[in-house]
Amino acid sequence: MPDNPLFNVLLVNDDVTPMDFVVHVLQEFLDLGFDDACKLMLRVHHEGKAICGTYERDEAETRVAAILALAGKHNHPLKCILEEAR
């Protein structure tokens, strides 16, 4: 097992969170450009969830917490989860 295992940050689709908010989250917290954020938002929308980035555990947890905090502040039910990268 590696000393610093990597974790995927995933967004999970819902029918409430506005697409423009998801694009903003991808740009702000996952360092994507506008075009890449739009493409990934559509993947989440159509496939139900998508890997948005891969980081060491602390970094992944920090990004997930920031995304969930902003979603909560705006009363959006956006789900952001971690899973160990394979």
Backbone angles phi, psi at 42, to 5 degrees: -65, -35
Residue 86 inside a domain? The answer is: no
pLDDT of residue 3: 77
- Model-wide pTM > 0.85: yes
Can you tell me the mean pLDDT for 13-21? 96
Residue 16 inside a domain? The answer is: yes
pLDDT of residue 69: 98
> Longest Cα pair distance anywhere in the chain, in angstroms?
39
The structure tokens listed for 40 are 């990934």
Q: Domain span at residue 12?
A: 6-52+59-78
pLDDT band at 1 (very low <50, low <70, confident <90, very high): low
pLDDT band at 33 (very low <50, low <70, confident <90, very high): very high
Q: Encode pLDDT of 35-76 as tens digits.
A: 999 999 999 999 999 999 999 999 999 999 999 999 999 999
CATH number for the domain harbouring residue 11: 3.30.1390.10
What distance in Å separates the CA atoms of residue 8 and residue 11, rounded to the nearest whole number?
A: 10
Residue 85 inside a domain? The answer is: no
Residue 24 inside a domain? The answer is: yes
Residue 83 inside a domain? The answer is: no
Q: Cα 34 from chain centroid? A: 15
pLDDT of residue 30: 96
Number of independent structural domains in the chain: 1
CB 23 within 8 A of CB 41: yes
Residue 34 inside a domain? The answer is: yes
